[in-house]
Amino acid sequence: MRDRFAEDIEAGRLGLGEAVKRMRKISGLTQAEFARHRGVSLLTLKRIESGKANPTVETLERIGRIFGLRVGFVRAHRTGYTAEPGEP
């Protein structure tokens, strides 16, 4: 599961909510357990997993740290990407 997760992260196939949900499932924890373990509220975790949250960088760092992940910019896929005016 971890290898597939890493591959999907590297390929940019996971949105934030799905990535967090998979990290939790790989950990074998319930939402409440994972939230407590990562130092975030249960409500915040539920909102992130459902795609309804706007988490802080600090929150995302706490969640991703155990998997060796950190917050950063990633290249957008060209498929379906619309350049802003003046962008190549």
Distances (CA, A) of 81 to 17, 54, 55, 77, 87: 20, 22, 24, 6, 11
DSSP code, position 51: T
pLDDT, one tens digit per residue, over 13-24 is 889 999 999 999
Provide the whole-model pTM: 0.79
Number of H helices, E strands in the chain: 5, 0
Q: Which residues of the chain have pLDDT under 70?
A: 75-88
- Cβ neighbours for 62, distance < 8 A, ≥ 6 positions apart: 38, 39, 40
CATH number of 2-65: 1.10.260.40
In 1-52, which ranges are E strands? none
Ordered by start, the domain boundaries in the chain are 2-65
The pLDDT score that the predictor gives to residue 19 is 95
